[in-house]
Amino acid sequence: MKKTFEVTGMTCNHCVHTVQRLLQTLDEVTEVRVSLEPPQATIEADKDYSLEELNAQLSENSNYRVEK
């Protein structure tokens, strides 16, 4: 399953790498692509993650959030 989400809170390339690293640690994620312009993340996974699950993963270590 492949989904793209808007990401809030990113301001630089370090933010992009942090969001990518955090999302890649989720179980069953096969690929994550994050960009600053536009601020979004594309996640390919064998599981359909909810916004709540993704934001819980991001909020543990940062102030980033994903939105539909």
pTM of the shown model? 0.92
| C-alpha to C-alpha distances, 19 to 9, 24, 46, 58, nearest whole angstrom | 10, 9, 19, 7
Model pLDDT for residues 17-34, shown as the tens digit of each residue: 999 999 999 999 999 999
Q: How many CB atoms lie within 10 A of CB 22?
A: 20
Structure tokens at 32: 């994550």
What's the CATH code of the domain at 47?
A: 3.30.70.100
Model pLDDT for residues 3-14, shown as the tens digit of each residue: 999 999 999 999
Q: Report how many domains make up the chain.
A: 1
Q: How far apart are CA 39 and CA 52, in angstroms?
A: 19
Model pLDDT for residues 24-66, shown as the tens digit of each residue: 999 999 999 999 999 999 999 999 999 999 999 998 768 899 9
pLDDT confidence of residue 2: 96
Phi, psi values for residue 20, rounded to 5°:
-60, -45
pLDDT confidence of residue 12: 96
Residue 32: give the domain boundaries.
2-67
